[in-house]
Structure 1
Amino acid sequence: MTISSRAAVHRGGSSLEITQIEVAAPGPGTALVRLGASGVCGSDRHVLDGEWEMPSPTVMGHEGAGVVEAIGEGVEDVAVGDHVVLSWFYPCRRCTACLSGRAFVCTGSRSEECLLPDGSTPLSENGTPVYPYLAVGSMSEYTVVPESAAVKIPSDVPFEVASLLGCSVSTGVGAVVNDAMVAPGRSAVVVGTGGVGLSIIMGLNLVGAHPIIAVDLSEEKLAIARRFGATHSVISGPDSQEQIRSITGGGADYAFEAIGRKDTIESLPGLLVRGGTAVLVGLPPADQTINFDGLALAEGGIRIVGSNYGSTVPGRDFPRLAALYLAGKLPVDELISDRIRLDQVNEAFEAMRRGERARSVIVF
């Protein structure tokens, strides 16, 4: 049995087609989820703009939240009716990394192939396979995901908030808490104040970092960053480094890059005090080479930390983030600048390319 689902499908080029697809019933170890919301993330844009290669045709979207509609044989972690956040990097729970608590570097996941654990795709169109982006495909009314990719959270978390917990918030907060392990009172600069950058600022505010310096080209975005806890804001330009050194008294303890641009990544060591840590959170195009002065890094005791998904362990971190939101400590709802329909998704990506909006979220 299959069900029909309206979805945003990428067939090549820079835009999506809104069409009907078929979603298979859940098999062993998987769950059918009716989506309540899907984030519109920069990682999706990388695919649309030809910077990352994925199988095609692809249902885009990897930040999703919804309700479990049916479960396959052997599923125990979720039940019909549960509200869940979807993880775009489902852990296999069997490899050495997973068994050591490092699900974020799982070697058994097939999510980056856009496949379920058995190598299949649950989506099709007139009998032709369609691939769910990162094994989620959240820009669809329905999807099927592995059990480990569906994490139960309280039903009083709104779907549009829950969807962002699945990527941008966990990535940003996780970069602070899991990767950099920032201590209270340490100084930090965040380059780029989109959804992930604002999530980093929320994480820094949560752990008591000070000062927290936001850097961006947009004064409008910097004003938003101050609402999220940035104590200082700097317009990106030739004198940015000098301003940051003045604010921090010589350089920040931590510098986070949340854009994925070669020039801004390479600028991070110059923003740091000796012994500081640069955290690479934004994802650049595939095969992009980043250049650092090796001698300067060594002499300055500078650490470069790669942060993917904020080293998130979904089953552990999603419920914690949901609890922090409900306690009023993570104002995730304020990240959302635009709640849109599925058929407005191309407009949302165009706004993203222009550097407009904080976060657009599709509400089903």
Structure 2
Amino acid sequence: MTEAMAETMQVRAAVFRGTDGDRLSVETLALAPPEHGEVRVAVRAAGVCGSDRHVLDGEWQVPLPAVMGHEAAGVVEAVGAGVRGLAVGNHVVIAWHQACQRCGECAGGKPWACTRARSNDSLLPDGTTRWSDAADGSAAFPYLATGAMAEAIVVPEFAAIKIDERVPFDVASLIGCSVGTGYGAVANNARVVAGESAVVVGAGGVGLSIIAALRLAGANPIVAVDVSEAKLAEAERAGATGALLSGPDLAERVHEATGGGADVAFEAIGRVPTMQQLPELIRPGGRAVFVGLPPEGQKVEIDGLLLAYEGKTIIGSNYGGLVPARDFPRVAGAYLSGALPLDDLISARVGLDEVNEAFDAMRRGERTRSVILFER
């Protein structure tokens, strides 16, 4: 289907209006056809991610009403004028950080550092939205320029990355955020090499993805840290060689497990106390990588002398330093080869009408990752 054949369509979506606490409503909205350089994707799977929960719980502010979701995979079903690299029927993973493709950072191969991206404003690169209320025509906004918890979405061509059709949609959706972020934090940000020791604080979806990527990189030992014994068991299945319950003597136990501190430590929760503790878990010359995203405005206090005197490095990880067009197919290939087992990262598969229950389960710490499946 070309742009000329596409028309505005009615789409069921999970919408956050901010008028009913942290609840989402499943509504029918109007989705305009793709414009120049854009594609419409029939969503087949969308992950339930902690970044969405930050919005629902009032920790991050976005334009409302918001079509939530940003971690998705699906099938291209319409293309706008000027689209050259995608065709109807292609299987794609969605990249939520939609870089401008023109600034110095983008030209330098660092799209994750783009200063002109409109995705944080829940707008497409041209500063508009394709969503509107089906009744009165008022605007609705796709969270992170994606709005993936919907039957269909419109995104720029460069935000829909073609992947091998053998990758199941539920697994493919995770490549767009949690798995991609975890892989990128290991491969792009920390640049872990075989034989390095690692500790991962937080065994949720991103933490488990980091652990899987560490195993792929040949790290050893890989120590998982969490407050939940059930999640630590999941971490060991994902590739952790050891598991520690969090506690006041955590640094001492990590140093014992790694022979003096880890070469690299990852915080995958976004909690200020664990972020502040991370440098204590690494050896002199080690790297501490902040992957989890805290609520807006919270400050992290670090002992500057500890960093300077012991030569420790803090690394910020925005979207795992991903170059989606390069890294998404790499992750998909590693999955298909069996080198990166990802199926076990999904703890529940639900329908769109169960979206609130999925977020409630996340808040209770009961699931590593829920994925919403769409039947078409």
TM bucket normalised to smaller: over 0.9
Per the TM alignment, residue 239 of structure 1 is displaced from its structure 2 partner at its CA by 2.0
Q: Which residue of the partner structure matches residue 96 of structure 1?
A: 104
Per the TM alignment, residue 108 of structure 1 is displaced from its structure 2 partner at its CA by 2.7
Instruction: Report Cα offsets for 1:215-258 as digits up to 9, x if no partner.
Output: 00111110110111100100001222111111111111111000
Is 2:265 aligned against 1:255? yes
Give me the whole-angstrom Cα distance separating, in 2, the residues matched to 1:77 and 1:114.
Answer: 24
Give 1:306's match in structure 2, choosing from 316, 332, 335. Answer: 316
The residue correspondences of 1:167-246 to structure 2 (distance < 5 A) are 167-246=177-256
Aligned partners of 2:98 and 2:125 also within 8 Å: no
Is 2:16 aligned against 1:6? no
Is 2:324 aligned against 1:318? no
Give 1:328's match in structure 2, choosing from 314, 332, 338. Answer: 338
Instruction: Report Cα offsets for 1:35-84 as digits up to 9, x if no partner.
Output: 00000000000000011100000000000110111010101121111010
Per the TM alignment, residue 213 of structure 1 is displaced from its structure 2 partner at its CA by 0.2
Give me the whole-angstrom Cα distance separating, in 1, the residues matched to 2:360 and 2:299.
Answer: 27
Per the TM alignment, residue 334 of structure 1 is displaced from its structure 2 partner at its CA by 1.0
- Match of 1:77, SS state, is coil
- Match of 1:325, SS state, is helix
Give me the whole-angstrom Cα distance separating, in 2, the residues matched to 1:77 and 1:112.
Answer: 25
Aligned partners of 1:92 and 1:148 also within 8 Å: no
Aligned partners of 1:7 and 1:18 also within 8 Å: yes
Q: Which amino acid aligns with 1:301?
A: G
Q: Which residue of the partner structure matches residue 146 of structure 2?
A: 136
Aligned partners of 2:275 and 2:300 also within 8 Å: yes
Q: Which residue of the partner structure matches residue 22 of structure 1?
A: 30
**Comparing 245-254 and 335-344, the one that deviates more:** 245-254
The alignment covers a number of residue pairs equal to 364
Q: Which residue of the partner structure matches residue 3 of structure 2?
A: none
- Match of 2:269, SS state, is coil
The alignment's C-alpha RMSD in Å is: 0.8
Percent of aligned positions that are identical: 60
Per the TM alignment, residue 204 of structure 1 is displaced from its structure 2 partner at its CA by 0.6
Aligned partners of 2:358 and 2:370 also within 8 Å: yes
Aligned partners of 1:189 and 1:254 also within 8 Å: yes
TM-score (norm 1): 0.99
- Match of 2:347, SS state, is strand
Q: Which amino acid aligns with 1:220?
A: A
Q: Which residue of the partner structure matches residue 74 of structure 1?
A: 82
Is 2:68 aligned against 1:64? no
Aligned partners of 2:95 and 2:160 also within 8 Å: yes
Aligned partners of 2:53 and 2:359 also within 8 Å: yes
